[in-house]
Amino acid sequence: MTTSLDATHDPTLRSWVDSANAENTDFPVQNLPFGRFTAPSVAAHDTAGTPRMGIAIGDQVLDLQMVQHALLTNGSPAWALTPDTARPDTLPDWLAPLADGDLNAFMRLGAAVRRGLRAWLSAALAEGSPLQAVLQPCLRAQADCTMQLPCQIGDYTDFYTGIHHATSVGKLFRPDNPLLPNYKWVPIGYHGRASSLVVSGTPVRRPLGQLKAPTAETPTLGPCQRLDYELELGALIGTGNALGTRVPLAQAEDHLFGLVLLNDWSARDVQAWEYQPLGPFLAKNFASTVSPWVVTMEALAPFRTAFNRPAIEGGDAGTLPYLDGDDNRLSGAFDLTLEVELQTAAMRAAGLPPQRLSRGRWTEAAWWTLAQLVTHHTVGGCNLQPGDLLGTGTLSGPGPDQAGSLLELSGGGKSPLTLPGGETRTFLQDGDTLTLRAWGEKPGARRIGLGTCSGTVQPAA
Ligand code: CA
């Protein structure tokens, strides 16, 4: 694997942006995630409403369009913070696509440029940086920024790597045969719908669909009655592969840009009626919510860990050679904590804080690594492109309070959850706000987070 620890991961590194030094911030100077946003114009050269890329730092955003402008107008040797890579003559080329809000074009430049810019940003935002005075005016409060999807997502594939989720859901849909025999051998997935991906904060309308109760003779069209969420991570592809080529496992991570949170909203009643024989369709295509900040593979490096498959009934039967390798076994996983919170409209009105529904760890959920997903996706010659999104599938841990969907937490709707204020839930009601979080935390490393991925359910149209 290609990311190793360097000076940008030093846990003692502090930023001249005060809020980045707060103990529990998701965005210390060790993180430096990319997000796309619009914000009110603050300078004559700044066209109001034009999307551009920024870097989250504490509760601020470093506006890379403003950085590019400052560099082109005030460029001096002081910008050469990292002389081996980012120099005043290379930085403008790196920043140009980001200033234009085109993360896909930056992704195309490859991992080496991404690492070079990370080194430069780390030095530029670190305490004592000679650029503090020139970069200070390029900061905006995150509260003033309207976040968008971080890039143009051309294609979206959703996998099913959470083996506890697959087993629990399988038991509900097929009590005699919960885990189908292919599961342990092939990374199961389907091609999703990129057009209905929305950024965190976008309201999610309850979908209509065909519903058929088991006892009914015929289906009806109506609002989904079993609306659910799915706790997932999404990997964004950085550099693609040509049609007809495949990406070997040892090179798979070179094609990954970074991670986002992903809520794959699911209409369980629609799903149960429509899913055979071709799998999910309208149950999944009305909205999927993506978090706005892309945490790069480099930022995640301190949280790398050995890949050990979860213990599961029947054990691990093995892995085909194209999906197996030493690096993948030794360091192919990332130890992130995953959490889900729910706040109902009544809780909001009563001033009650969100209620945690689950907390678990990615390492205890996933049967496949990200690298294996890339390699499998391309083994038949399918071309991945910059900005493509690969969802992990629902990441449920082994425990009952680690499940990443209400379908599991409520035992298929049979065991309602009780919420603060006395309400109960089996599935989501109108007005419910669902929020996903993920973070890495361990001794010897600075804690980093992925921010939040949130959506509120609106009544059916
Ligand atoms: Ca899913």
User: Are residues 170 and 318 located together in one domain of the fold?
Assistant: yes
Q: Is residue 397 part of a domain?
A: yes
User: Are residues 219 and 254 located together in one domain of the fold?
Assistant: yes
Q: Is residue 398 part of a domain?
A: yes
- In the numeric block, which tokens belong to residue 134? 């020139």
CATH number at residue 288: 3.90.850.10
User: Are residues 109 and 166 located together in one domain of the fold?
Assistant: no
Number of domains in the chain: 2
User: Are residues 215 and 354 located together in one domain of the fold?
Assistant: yes
| pLDDT value, residue 1 | 47
- In the numeric block, which tokens belong to residue 212? 């058929």
Domain closes at, from 118, 146, 174: 146
Give the distance (Å) from ligand 1 centre to CA of residue 432: 20
User: Are residues 231 and 369 located together in one domain of the fold?
Assistant: yes
Give the distance (Å) from ligand 1 centre to CA of residue 248: 25
Q: Is residue 433 part of a domain?
A: yes
User: Are residues 136 and 171 located together in one domain of the fold?
Assistant: no
CATH number at residue 24: 2.30.30.230
> Which residues is 2 bridged to in the sheet?
none
Total-model pTM: 0.96
| pLDDT value, residue 174 | 81
Q: Is residue 2 part of a domain?
A: no
Cis peptide before 277 (omega within 30 of 0): yes
User: Are residues 190 and 108 located together in one domain of the fold?
Assistant: no
| pLDDT value, residue 172 | 87
User: Are residues 197 and 72 located together in one domain of the fold?
Assistant: no
Q: Is residue 212 part of a domain?
A: yes
Give the distance (Å) from ligand 1 centre to CA of residue 222: 22
User: Are residues 135 and 164 located together in one domain of the fold?
Assistant: no
CB 353 within 8 A of CB 296: no
CB 452 within 8 A of CB 437: yes
SS3 of the chain: CCCCCCHHHCCCCCECCHHHHCCCCCCCCCCCCEEEEECCCCCCCCCCCCCEEEEEECCEEEEHHHHHHHHHHHCCHHHCCECCCECCCCHHHHHHHHHCCCHHHHHHCCHHHHHHHHHHHHHHHECCCCCHHHHHHHEEEHHHCEEECCCCCCCEEEECCEHHHHHHHHHHHCCCCCCCCCCCCCCCEEECCHHHEEECCCCEECCEEEECCCCCCCCEEEECCCEECCEEEEEEECCCCCCCCCCCHHHHHHHEEEEEEEECCEEHHHHHHHCCCCCCCCCCCCCEEECCCEEEHHHHHHHEECCCCCCCCCCCCCCCHHHCCHHHHHHCEECCEEEEEEECHHHHHCCCCCEEEEEEEHHHCECCCHHHHHHHHHCCCCCCCCCCEEECCCCCCCCHHHCCCHHHHCCCCCCCEECCCCCEECCCCCCCEEEEEEEECCCCCCCEEEEEEEEEEECCC
Q: Is 148 exposed, middle or buried (0-12, 13-18, 19+ CB in 10 A)?
A: middle
Domain closes at, from 109, 128, 146: 146
| pLDDT value, residue 64 | 96
Give the distance (Å) from ligand 1 centre to CA of residue 159: 7
- From the list 165, 255, 376, 377, the catalytic residue is 165
**165 labelled catalytic:** yes
- In which domain, by residue range, is 242 found? 156-458
Averaged in consecutive runs of 10 residues, what is the pLDDT profile of the chain (461 residues)?
82 98 97 95 72 97 94 71 63 93 97 93 95 94 97 98 94 85 96 98 98 94 98 98 98 98 98 92 97 98 97 92 97 98 98 98 98 98 98 97 97 96 97 98 97 98 93
User: Are residues 142 and 161 located together in one domain of the fold?
Assistant: no
Residue 461: CB atoms within 10 Å = 8
Q: Is residue 229 part of a domain?
A: yes
Q: What is the rounded distance in angstroms from the CA atom of residue 278 to the CA atom of residue 258?
A: 30
Give the distance (Å) from ligand 1 centre to CA of residue 343: 22
| pLDDT value, residue 317 | 87
Domain closes at, from 146, 164, 187: 146
User: Are residues 70 and 198 located together in one domain of the fold?
Assistant: no
User: Are residues 113 and 14 located together in one domain of the fold?
Assistant: yes
